[in-house]
Each structure stands twice: as C-alpha cells, then as structure tokens.
C-alpha cells in the first residue's frame, strides 16, 4: 500500500445510518495512526432528523479534514479503577476504617453490582437481576442507617465487624 504523501487525497468518511445496536447516525473511518477501524457517532438515533445530522456531519468533517481524527480519551480499565484509594460508595468523602462494617458493606455492594445482568440477558449462574440488587442494596443501607441511629452519626464507618454484638 503506498504511503500517504502531500499530494495524496484524503479519504472522506461517508455519513451512514443504522438501527442495529442503537448506533443511529455515524461515520466509519480507519484511524491513520493505528490503522484500526473507528466509528464516530453523532448521538442522533432518529432517521427523520437527517437535516440536523448533516449540519453536525459537515462540522465534524471540516475538523477531521483539517486536524485528522480526534484523539479519544483513554479508557480506564477495572484494574486502574481499583488501584486508587478505596472510597466507600455509601458515604463518599468520609474516612472509612478498613475492616469496619461500612467497608465490608461497600465491598459487598461493589461485588453485587458487578454481577448484575441486563433484563434482556438470559439467566446465568452467579448473576442477579437488577431488582434483586436494588432490594439487597436497600437492606444494607437500612441496616447501616439503623447502626448509625443506635450508636451515633457515621459510627458504621468506624465500628469493626466484631464489635457489633
């Protein structure tokens, strides 16, 4: 394949519409740096909004032809997300002692949310429906609220599991 020189014409990505996977209006092109196929979605799913899409497409195309494809933001993997400091999802911006009831409950909720399946997916071993997850989360938050009510404000984030007897 010949390399792109200064006199070589740049390919112009073509505007397309598809209803599959909720993509809607988009352009597909090959990233010049990596060579991998890339898709830019315009976020418009209705085919009837074609005039709006043409305006957005021409703005995007002018930017693309002048500067090349926009650099996507690097996605954080689960490993990257776990490497940072652990903050409780139930009480953000609060100091949670490791091994406390709040710390254990937060870890359990994280595990529970990771195993939730979509409504259209078939039942698999080890997965839960969204309604089950929501119900269990409510039970846990109610229990933590009860502990805080009985023992003092934010006590669940300081009380160790063995101390609650």
Among the residue ranges 76-85, 107-116, 147-156, the one predicted with the least confidence is 76-85
Angle between helices 130-151 and 101-114 (to 10 degrees): 170
> Which stretch of DSSP H or E encloses residue 41?
strand 37-41
Report the pLDDT averaged over residues 61-76.
71
> Which distant-in-sequence residues (6+ apart) come within 8 Å of 87 by Cβ?
93, 96
Yes or no: say if 37 and 28 are a contact pair by the CB < 8 Å rule: yes
- Model pLDDT, residue 161: 74
Cα angle for residues 22, 24, 25 (degrees, 5° grid): 160
Rounded to whole angstroms, how far apart are CA atoms 13 and 62?
11
Query: Percentage of the chain with pLDDT > 90?
Result: 2
pLDDT, one tens digit per residue, over 11-55 is 788 888 988 888 889 888 887 777 788 888 888 888 888 888 888
> Which stretch of DSSP H or E encloses residue 104?
helix 101-114
- Model pLDDT, residue 165: 52
**Reported confidence tier of residue 138, pLDDT bands at 50, 70, 90:** very high
């Amino acid at each position: 394949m010949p390399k792109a020189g200064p006199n070589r014409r740049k390919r112009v990505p073509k505007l397309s519409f598809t209803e599959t996977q909720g993509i809607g209006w988009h352009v597909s092109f090959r990233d010049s740096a990596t060579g991998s196929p890339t898709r830019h979605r315009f976020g418009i799913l209705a085919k009837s909004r074609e005039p709006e899409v043409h305006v957005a497409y021409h703005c995007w195309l002018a930017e693309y032809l002048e500067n090349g494809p926009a650099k996507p933001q690097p996605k954080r993997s689960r490993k990257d997300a776990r490497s940072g400091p652990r903050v409780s999802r139930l009480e953000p911006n609060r100091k949670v002692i490791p091994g406390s009831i709040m710390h254990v409950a937060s870890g359990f909720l994280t595990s529970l949310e990771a195993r939730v399946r979509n409504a259209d997916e078939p039942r698999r071993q080890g997965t839960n429906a969204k309604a089950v997850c929501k119900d269990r989360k409510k039970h846990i938050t109610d229990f933590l609220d009860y502990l805080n009510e009985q023992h003092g404000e934010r006590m669940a984030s300081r009380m160790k599991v063995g101390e609650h007897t």
